[in-house]
Every structure is written in structure tokens, then in C-alpha cells.
Amino acid sequence: MGTRKFLTNRLLARKQMVVDIIHPARANISKDELREKLAKMYKVDKEVVFCFGFRTAFGGGKSTGFALIYDNLESAKKFEPKYRLVRHGLMEIKKASRKQRKERKNRSKKLRGTKKAKAAVAKK
Amino acid sequence: MSPSKTSATANAAAEELQRDQAAFHKHLQELSTMVKEIEAKLKPTIKKLETKEIDTSKGLSFLEVKYHILLEYITNLSFIMYRKLSGESIQDHPAIHSLIEERTILEKMKPVEQKLKYQIDKLVRAAVVGQQEGEAQMTAGGADPLAFKPNPKNLVLDNAGNEDNEEGENEDNEDGEAKTGLYRAPKMAPVHFEEDSSAVAKRLKYQARLQARAAKSRVMKDLVNEFDDRPEEMSLTNDGVHFGMGMDDKQREREQYEEENFTRTMLSKKELNRLRKGALPKFENEFENLNDFAQIAPLQDDLESSEQRRRNVLARRNERKQAAMARDSDDDDEDVGSRKRSRGGDDDGIFNGLMSDPKKRRAGGKKGPKTAFDRSKRNIARNRK
């Protein structure tokens, strides 16, 4: 496993890099395992390592992706997009069920302008 | 409050009062001068009105109403100011009610005035113009300012001054075209605009394009790799894989973009299929590009043609010199400027020295080989060619 294009991003309190993994026998390496390896390499906690965007090269054996290592968990919670936090279990996005969302959308199609906002407030 | 503070405030108040008084004094002076000016300007008009020189019967009643209401408003306002100055209260005075009424009327009149603005302007212009040039002339000419619709006669009058110039120009144009007899097509469709249409610029552009194309060819790349000191770069993905038709470069560009911006691009379904199914193994294509010389061939041609042109100039000069020499000598069959003709040179064989070719140009002087000696000389010269 090698890292390329290493960059310390002080503005977002993190280090970002491109990760290349060679896995000759296996299909793919799970993100979890990768986080452990990176945490060991950079001597940080596993929970501040986020990796994403892994693509396996044609023919197999090699994958490339991105990894971010935050300085602390607070800055991670502040700067990371919500879906990645959900992946790690640090956050939960609560949504109404799909059916209910669609019903609400269809109800608001009958209204126009500020009445939509009023209806939304009334529902809550 | 402390005595110093009260005195300070009193001083401040006194200063303000003084400033106000000075300003008031100035305003009063301005007012008096302006009133005198207005009076001076209005006096002659008032006299004219009294002696009925100006006819006010054709005025707009709307504007009359406006003046009357304005006057009332001003009088009421001044009355209220007078009451204030003399210290009497103005609360619930009927003057205030009438002030409010008049104000509302004036504000409602404003938009109506805006709509009438065009007509009012026309009337004013008509009045002014009528005074200057006399009514009869203008109405006859068709430029009646009270008419609001467009009038083609106005156009004719405008061009009266320019007609002579235009005729002169038309004549010149016609003469010019009749002389050359050229028909110039009207330019209607949009065409690509070339900034430099000179031959030199075109040639340079063509050469630049050829060079760019040649740089992309496989031959050039191999040469560069051979003689360059830089380390060889291998891409980490698509190692044994190759896409044709310039997809390789696109793929490389995409990789570069993704790594730099730390994102992944979304590929359309077409692109995804092409990536997965359209990948060819790299080694098969080694033989496809063996005929890649086609890409650099035009470069060679272009180079040759430019050298040829240079050679042509010298060659033509030499030919002219030879022609001059040949005119003096016996052999006038050292053909002048026959470089072009000698390419299709089978005519020589046909006549074979029996007859001089009637098509060939005589350089002047001797008409042709009259004696056998001349003919044989010609044969020898031809065979040597």
C-alpha cells in the first residue's frame, strides 16, 4: 500500500492523500481494514481516518482511492460531509419514510408559493 | 445637573441658534432675489394676457387645473406658516384639511401627466415650430406635428439635401463595375472570418497544424522516449490495457483531474461500458501503428515544397540567362522555359528530328534546324536529356 500526493490541509485540519493498494489475490480491500492500516501507519486513532472513492483498476489486483486523516474528532465532525459520518456511525440522518416523503411532495404540488411553506410549518 | 454642564448645554444651544439665524438670513436673501427675478420675467407675459395677445382658449384644461390647485396649496401653506410665526395654534384648522386634499389631488395627477407627456410635448413643439416657420409651409410639407402617425413624406424631405451626393456615388459605382464586368455576389450567409488571409499566414498555420499532428504520432513518441533523459512514467491503472481513438489521453486526463481535486467523476453509462468492455490488451496494437509514418509524411512534403519554391526562383533566373544565351547561339532548341513542357516529353520522339514541332515556341532568330547538321545536333542534345 502506498500513498501519493500527500498534502497537509491546515485550513480543514487534516492530511489528505491518494492511496494505492495492491491486492493480488483478493477482489477488494474493505474500507474498515484500510482504516486500520492507515491508522497504524500514521499513528493516529482509527476513528479520525476517512477513506472514499476506491476504484479497482481493470484486470484487478490494484485499487486507487483517497484518504483523509483529521487532527481530532471534533474537526472531523465539523468538516466531513454527513454521508461519510453516517458510514462511520458518528451521525444518524433521520428521514421520514420514503412513502411519506413522496406523499408530502405530491400534496405540496397543489399549493403555490408561501402556502407551501405555511403548510410545511403547520405539518410540523 | 452641574452648573458647568448647564452652561455647556446653553453654549451649545446658543451656537446652534446663531448658525440657524445665519442660514435663515441667507435663505431670506435668496428668496427675495428670486422673487424679483420671477416678477421681472412674468410681467411681460401678464401684460400680454391682459391685452389678449396670446390666446389661452386652446390650452389643456388638465394643466389649468394643476396650476389652480398648486396655487391654492401654496397659499394655504403660507397662511399656516404665518399662523405659526405669530404663535397661534394650527390644530384642526380647516386650512390643514384643504392642504391634505390638495396634496392628494396633486399626487393623483402625476401618473396621468406622465401618460399625457407625449401629447403635451407634441403640442408644445407644434406651437414653437408654428411660430418660427409659418403654419402653411409645414402642413403642406406633411410634417404636421399634431399628426402622431408615421409619415413617409418626412423621409423624402430629409433626403433632399443628400440626393445629389448619392447620385454621384451611384454613377461611379456603375461605371466601375461596367468597366470590369465583374459580378459581385451579395454576401448573405455567414462565413468563417479569417484574420490573416495572406498566403504566408495560411502556410504558417498549416505548418503548425501539421507539426502538432506529427508530435502525436507513435514514431515521434518512441523517438522522444529513446533520447530523453526523463524517467519513464507508468500509469498505475490500466497497466496492460489500451483504448483506441484517443481514449487513452482522455483517461489519463481524467485520472489527473481526479487526483488533483480529490474527487471522483461520474461517468455516463456509455463511458462505463466503454471502459469495461472496450478495453483492448496493449500488446496487440503494436502492429497497428507500424504505418504511422503517414502522420509525419505531410511534414516532409511541406518541407520539400518550401525548398522547391526556393530552388524554383534560382532555376527560373538561370533559365532566363540560358534563353538569352540560346538566342545568340545556333541551338535554339535548348528550349526556353520548357522545364514544364519537358515533363511530358514524348513529342520529341515522334518527330525525331524530321520535322520541327509546330507547337514549340520559337525563341526568335533561326526558325529551325534547316540542315542535317543542325538536326543531328538536336538529336544529340535530346538524347543527353
Q: Provide the shortest C-alpha distance from residue A56 to chain B (in Å).
A: 8
Q: A67 and A20, same structural domain?
A: yes
Q: What is the C-alpha separation between A108 and A116, in angstroms, rounded?
A: 6
Q: What is the pLDDT of residues B368-384, one digit of tens each?
A: 666 777 777 777 777 76
Number of cross-chain residue pairs from A and B with Cβ atoms under 8 Å apart: 30
Task: Choose the weakest-confidence range: A109-123, B108-122, B213-227, B318-332.
Answer: B318-332
Q: A60 and A105, same structural domain?
A: no
Q: A66 and A124, same structural domain?
A: no
Model confidence pTM above 0.80:
no
For residue B210, the tally of other CB atoms under 10 A from its CB is: 19
pLDDT band at A34 (very low <50, low <70, confident <90, very high): very high
* Mean pLDDT for all residues in chain A: 90
Q: What's the pLDDT score for residue B27?
A: 92
CATH code (residue A13):
3.30.70.3370
pLDDT band at B345 (very low <50, low <70, confident <90, very high): very low
The H-or-E segment that residue B112 falls in is helix B94-133
pLDDT band at B34 (very low <50, low <70, confident <90, very high): very high
> What is the radius of gyration, based on Cα positions, of chain A?
21
* Mean pLDDT for all residues in chain B: 74
CB-based contact B279 A64, cutoff 8 Å = no
Is some CB atom of chain B closer than 8 A to the CB atom of A2?
no
Q: Which of A73-77, B264-268, B362-366 has the highest mean pLDDT?
A: A73-77
Q: What's the pLDDT score for residue B166?
A: 45
Q: What is the pLDDT of residues B47-101, one digit of tens each?
A: 887 777 666 666 678 888 888 999 999 999 899 888 888 888 878 888 888 889 9
Cell numbers found for residue B115: 401618460
Q: Which of A29-38, A113-122, B181-190, B343-352 has the highest mean pLDDT?
A: A29-38
Mean pLDDT, residues B249-266: 87
Q: What is the C-alpha separation between B35 and A67, in angstroms, rounded?
A: 84
Q: A101 and A69, same structural domain?
A: no
Q: Provide the shortest C-alpha distance from residue B279 to chain A (in Å).
A: 8
Domain assignment of residue A60, given as a range: 2-87
Q: A99 and A73, same structural domain?
A: no
pLDDT over 90 at B125, yes or no: no
Which residues from A are below 8 Å from B275, CB to CB?
58
Strands A2-9 and B280-281: unpaired
More confident residue, B371 or A35: A35
Q: A11 and A66, same structural domain?
A: yes
Residue A52 three-state SS: strand
pLDDT band at B317 (very low <50, low <70, confident <90, very high): confident
Q: A107 and A77, same structural domain?
A: no
